Amino acid sequence: QVQLVESGGGLVQAGGSLRLSCAASGRTFSNYAMGWFRQTPGKEREFVAAISVSGGNTNSADSVKGRFTIFRNNAKNTVYLQMNSLKPEDTAVYYCAAKYSRGSYYVPSKYEYDYWGQGTQVTVSS
C-alpha cells in the first residue's frame, strides 16, 4: 500500500501562485510514477501533469502548459505541483496519484494509477 497526502491548497487571487505537495509513504517512492489530476463537481477527473520515477520525463495538460510544473524529490518521498498565473478555471480539488513503474515514462491516464490521495481544494478568485 502507498499512502498519499496532499497539502498546499487554498484560496488565491487570479494571477497568483500555489505549490501543492504530495507526501508518499508505505513503499519505495522511487518505484512509482506520479501524477496530478483535478476535478470539479459534476465533471470527470482530468489530467493535469505527470512525472516519471526519476523525474526525467514529465508531461502536462495543454490547459496548464507554461503555468504549472511538476517535479519530485525522491529523497523526501514527495511530488510537487508548482502552479503559477492561476486562473479561476483552475479552481478544483487536486489529487495526486501513484503508479508502480520501473520504466522512464510518465502516465497521463487516470485509469492506470494504483493509489490516490484524498485531494486538496484550490480556489482561484477573479
The distance of Cα 3 from the centroid of its chain, to the nearest Å, equals 14
Q: Is 85 helix (H, G, I), strand (E, B) or coil?
A: coil
**Confidence band (pLDDT; 50, 70, 90) for 7?**
very high
Task: Please give the average per-residue pLDDT across 84-93, as a whole number.
Answer: 98
From CA 75, how far away is CA 69, in angstroms rounded?
A: 19
Cell matching residue 56? 526525467
**Confidence band (pLDDT; 50, 70, 90) for 105?**
confident
Judge whether 60 and 43 are in contact, CB under 8 Å: no
From CA 23, how far away is CA 27, in angstroms rounded?
A: 12
Residue 32 pairs in a beta bridge with 100
